[in-house]
Structure 1
Amino acid sequence: MSRHDYFSQFLHAVWHGESGHPLVASLLAQPAFAVYRNTIFKGCVDALSANYPAVRRLVGEQWFQGAALAYARRHMPDDACLIAYGDGFPDFLDSVDAVRELPYLPGVARLDRYWSESHLAADDAPLDTAGLHAVLASGRDVQLAPQAATRWHWEPAYPGYSIWNANRDPGAGPLSGLEWHGEGALLTRPEGQVQWQPIGLGACRFLDACRAGMGVAAAAGLAQAAEPGLDVAVMLGELVQAGAFTSFH
């Protein structure tokens, strides 16, 4: 068999524990191959455990290990470095029947994922805040480009940010008096450290519009439509201060 066919059959045997090819089947029958498979899956589970700490803390170690192993058996890593492994884990959780009792869990998983993406994103130049203030004061409409490390998420039905923050930050303390309504989250990486904060629906829609290439005026209109009474100037100032943008044009 060709080298390509061999490795294809070998990977199939690792992930599915079976092979129709005699050579690979003979390897699969050896006890050491089971140890090899278990080591690979353990590496995937450990990577998911590191990449989804808030989810793990919410569901407990045993449940998380089982869910992570089920995901790993269906999703082969596409990189030998597992630091970014598990991009589909939030959607996988959304399909697990047991998660119906924790409907906010996929949203919490997405924030864990966004933390990893923010951490691993390329470095962008900081925003020229003085220049931005000058052009906006002159009445000129500009397009704002979000930083490569900027991530945001709106959870319409659940207080996803509060739940995630309480389980991601050991110093956040226990949740008390939690109001069951939608929440937004913003993750940025000023000065090389991932930071996060709650934001409203208007800010999320503003960032959506900026990512789509819309100008500040149009983006502000969408933000106010989503959140009537929103002070766009204050919102924009908070986003700039958080380091959400890299440039304008």
Structure 2
Amino acid sequence: MASARTSGLPRWVLVPAAAGALFIVLPLVALASRVQWGSFWSLVTSDSSREALLLSLRTSGTATVLCVVLGVPMALVLARTSFRGQALIRSLVLLPLVLPPVVGGIALLYTFGRQGLLGETIDVLGLQIAFSTTAVVIAQTFVSLPFLVVSLEGTLRTAGQRYEVVASTLGARPTTVLRRVTLPLVLPGLAAGAVLSFARALGEFGATITFAGSLEGVTRTLPLEIYLQRETDPDAAVALSLVLVVVAVLVIGLVRGRSNAL
């Protein structure tokens, strides 16, 4: 209460704030309360569970790298340039945020599938993307990329361009300015965007199952494994759900702490 008064907030704000916190925390508490702790270890260390977790971590990490490689230039262009149709481009880039993941999966299938827009050309080269591990990475990247772009673009706009202008007037080349000034300046925002992208990729379900299917050891990520276990072994589904929550919290906590230290 005292800290709220000191910061100038009205006391009534605490009520909806507490309600919002409970709205998020209570389902997690309910989930933890349903875990069969006596058999927890055996449930989460089965062969299918381990394969699904490792596949999720591997594909989510790869998708996050792709988000950084593609998203940083996109955010720079949106934040540091002005061109006709920029608002439309920004809307299209952010579209996966509001699209149902299943719709995104269908769009990817008709793009990279065997009879898709690019699928026939890819098939001629002897490659098949749909229903493969590559498809999982593509689906996760598709839904995660906007999170990095939004986070980094906001950071770039907040940081402004005064340091970049000074560096340019001192004779630094654009690439040097980008590498030595811009990126270090927005590193916390980049780290936050990467964390959000990883967390979103880790929990991706709809686009993955539509575009990649559910092949054990190949495309069955942890969310898909949880869904399948929910039908056959609810206790295993609850245990794996808790594992996914813990992994997500640890990743976000560790990287957010690092970005705050920066």
Greater helix share, structure number: 2
Q: TM-score, normalised by structure 1?
A: 0.28
Greater strand share, structure number: 1
Higher relative contact order (CA 8 A, sep 6+): 2
Q: TM-score, normalised by structure 2?
A: 0.26
